[in-house]
Structure 1
């Protein structure tokens, strides 16, 4: 049984264009974007109020591209896109998208990286993507320099993104320097793309944690991002028309390096004429001040931010948040009880959530303001089809029965870079075409409204989601096994009031360590992770020493048994308290 969007969801008016860059799609009104004359400034700094018009943002992007052409020796229609890969390792700025589109103007590929990465993690992304240059910012410059040096990116190919309150003289060209240089460089020749090139050519290499080893590079085409921008905006337009919303202020806090922030915020909002209020990182007071100052209407966050708000009710009372109409959460499920508690504080707000993946260049299903069912991730968006498959590979044809979600959409990506095995496992074919196996267990329900809603009930891929970040247990396990106090190990997610989930390690020690104290070994192992991994991968759930890791006859770790053990221990602890 194939599931489709509800009847109220409009169909795509035409196939997403397959022969233009994302930047050209964003600028042109022929594909359905809101007229530029009626659009707000696309990006405004939420700390300083600095802003640019649509025309100014486009011009800055063009000048950056012209300067990069000179510095890198690249021409738009020469060489392969794989020879023109540039990394972006920076907090959000109002020029972030201008930089990405400048890379595309040269027919290059941008690879955004998580600012929480350690030097070794960034090195992996730069090396595997083949990056030849790197944009970064002052707060993470030390990490960027270590990684760049390790992969051979020279310092004259490292550029600084301007952040508020972080202006200092450094021996690197800044974005402003590139823009100034661009004025003295001839205009670039037009791109000479052939029919279908936008569907085949990679625009972004975004890294997904996957289920094992280091993060995998997902190849996202220009058409993938264009498609999801159209899909999400057309879906949203139904409720916006009902509430009389033409343009609005949207929170730009989610990292633009993450597919959620990159497509849903940084592309979709400006395309429909909205203004993105950019914040470089989450700090509760700055977040609340921005909502009040800029009268933000649409707040996109991750569930831990909702939890933080609920634990800071006295602080919330100091700010006027009455401009908010819709709060939207993604990257991890928002609990029904948490949602209801927030709505008790702000009963006029609409609160919804959505679901998507890097491999779908974001949104698969979303909640419309006029059709909210708390605890679900909403309904399929235009142009998307789904089916639910049981463990035996049979399609599930009834509501309320668990199974793995398979998805078809023009936003489903090209596959994994240099990883045919992972691509073959995730992107599968049948008589109905190519499907993405999401690895997520879902149920489909029909609500009182008569519309089908999708609920994510478990993760077959075993990922741990820490404050919007994905952590692959296998990556941490491989790192732990390099420590002399670890003979075998397994990592699971445990609940955390602040971060949603955090990793916990179960460790088997070698016989040679029998005389050592558990607390001393635990401290060493924790430090081993902290020294080499991003902070969201730290073992904040602790370490528990056990005699053996439960495994199946084939050697697969039986994490469910460890999760049951953890739940039992927490119940006992709670009963004692």
Structure 2
């Protein structure tokens, strides 16, 4: 077993709201907490706390409280922060919905999570409105933050000035948020994260993420994703830093916001790193305010990381985690210039790790020199999820009897105590940091009348980023089915990040005697 090189941090036994706002000083209340990157509008910490409490009061007046699930379907705007923390303050559970989801995908999450209320924005109402109706959520319980006919708005809820409810919860067992993750395989499942999980992960990151109160943090990674939720939103708020929201990624707008708002700390995913390293537009902006950049959500190539660091003159680091870990378990610390930028660094405070031999199940020890043989990374700590909603068998397969969460990622440990991800046991595809479950795309493909069988794997594109590739067996008499038709079929039924981006027609999908798709055989042939 390997332990964090950092001493354990004390995890407060409080709700997320109390952790972030209970000790808000008068000076901090006057500090700017949020800046709308598009409009430039500012919200102070004091205003934010008051609006969160008013939102929670409005929810309580509508019968929302502990035991209820409220869905939040919104891009990164200041109103997201009010709604998200207002839901948690009310005692309810927030299930955050990918802003790119189709109506069918939104409806599936609403129904699976048991959501009885939906909070969204006008631009997403064409998807979320019909989804709510399909899930049995009436229009008066679909809150449209920026306003829409027939729906309550954020302004209306805040104007009610309802007092925030008195809520008693056990932070260790009460589910605060329920993002959806495919785990190590299969369809997306609700990841039950407690208040303690979220508070713990922010506290655990104290020694390795040096965001300070005078930092300006650019929030382009989505808050609905656990990375944005914990590492950007909650960590920045806890450090009293200034958070600049950006609803969607556009390179020119991304660079403009860094320049105009003098952003200092950038949290990104690898596709943004590619643009920062290679795109000529970068030279047209003054990015000298940036001092640190952290990449997560998918593996970052060491050479790419070095190219970004050199071009921007910033410190570049990489972290690792997953929704089930709230999400961070490993980070390259600020002071560790000796560690490879292609690795994931060391375990954060309060974390214990194991590398499990894939064949023998035995633990792999840290070597005295060089690197260990590969093994599946398993993690134990206060950030490990409570479990999957309604999937006890999957929970039991993921978290063992000793409390170690088996990540499905294959890693090696180096003599210096750092880790590097080398492969995946799990079948998930990471496209631009988003999870794509092969089984979900395969089900969509098999619904096409011209497709007899199909399999999906992740393959590298020209920039070394993973994309979904479909292997398709044409149905008899449908030899005219082409790549464009397959791609169009899938694109019409899934969110953009799930689209199939390469197609290969084959005679038969390789399968085991039990009928399981042998994706390793497909990968080996690439």
- Give your verdict on TM over 0.5: yes
Q: Distance in 1 between matches of 2:88 and 2:276?
A: 38
Q: Is structure 2 residue 206 aligned with structure 1 residue 233? A: yes
Who is 1:264 aligned against? 231
The answer to whether the 8 A contact 2:122-2:148 is kept is no
Q: Deviations over 1:454-494 (max 9, x none)?
A: 11111111211111110011111122112222222110112
Distance 1:62 1:547 in 2: 60
In 2, Cα distance between equivalents of 1:117 and 1:497: 26
Give the deviation of 1:209 after TM superposition: 2.0
TM-score normalised by L of structure 2: 0.94
2:411 corresponds in structure 1 to: 442
Of 207-216 and 364-373, deviating more is 207-216
Counterpart position of 1:397: 365
Q: Deviations over 1:131-172 (max 9, x none)?
A: 11111112211000111111011111111233xxxxx76332
Gap change, CA 1:51 and 1:407, over 3 Å in 2: same
CA shift at 1:497, angstroms?
4.2
Equivalences for residues 368-517 of structure 1 within 5 A: 368-372=333-337, 373=339, 374-391=341-358, 392-399=360-367, 400=371, 401-429=373-401, 433-447=402-416, 452-497=417-462, 500-513=465-478, 516-517=479-480
Equivalence for 2:261: 294
* 2:300 is aligned with 1:334: yes
Name the residue aligned to 2:63: 73
Runs (4 or more) in structure 1 with deviation over 6 Å come to: none
Which residue does the alignment assign to 2:488? 527
Aligned counterparts of 2:456 and 2:96: Cα–Cα separation in 1:
27
- Seen in structure 2, the aligned counterparts of structure 1 residues 369 and 91 have a Cα distance that, compared at 3 Å, is same
Match of 1:304 in 2: 271
Indicate conservation of the 8 Å contact 2:226/2:326, yes or no. yes
1:11 pairs, out of 8, 18, 25, with 8
Match of 1:28 in 2: 22
Give the whole-Å Cα distance in 1 for the aligned partners of 2:148 and 2:98.
Answer: 25
Q: Distance in 1 between matches of 2:209 and 2:274?
A: 26
Distance in 1, Cα, partners of 2:335 & 2:89: 39
Structure 1 residue 41, shift from structure 2 partner: 2.0
Residue 192 of structure 1 aligns to a residue whose secondary structure is: coil
Corresponding residue for residue 37 of structure 1: 27
Q: Distance in 1 between matches of 2:464 and 2:38?
A: 25
Residue 326 of structure 2 corresponds to 361
1:313-354 CA distance string (max 9 Å, x none): 2x11111100111111000011112112223312x3100110
Structure 2: how far apart are the matches of 1:297 and 1:307?
19
Which blocks of at least 5 consecutive residues in structure 2 are unaligned? Answer: none
Taking only aligned residues, the RMSD between alpha carbons, in angstroms, comes to: 1.8
Counterpart selection for 1:203 from 163, 176, 191: 176
The alpha-carbon distance between structure 1 residues 169 and 358, as it changes in their structure 2 partners (threshold 3 A), is: closer
Specify the SS of the correspondent of 2:514.
coil
Aligned partner of 1:134 in structure 2 is: 118
Residue of structure 2 in register with 1:325 after alignment: 291
User: How many residue pairs are counted as aligned between the two chains?
Assistant: 518
CA-to-aligned-CA distance 1:21-58 (integer Å, 9 cap, x gap): 211111133xxxx8562574222111222111111101
1:552 Cα shift? 2.9
Matches within 5 A, 1:144-155: 144-155=128-139
Give me the TM-score of the superposition, normalised by structure 1: 0.86
Aligned counterparts of 2:409 and 2:394: Cα–Cα separation in 1: 16
Partner residue, 1:117: 101
Give secondary structure in 2 for the equivalent of 1:465: strand
Asked if the contact 2:54/2:164 (under 8 Å) is kept, the reply is: no
SS of equivalent residue, structure 1 residue 228: helix
How far apart are 1:510 and its partner, in Å? 2.7
Instruction: Give SS of 2:172's match.
Output: helix
1:554 paired residue among 514, 520, 523: 514
Q: 2:88 matched to 1:104?
A: yes
Partner of 1:160: 144
C-alpha distance in 1 between matches for 2:213 and 2:92: 34
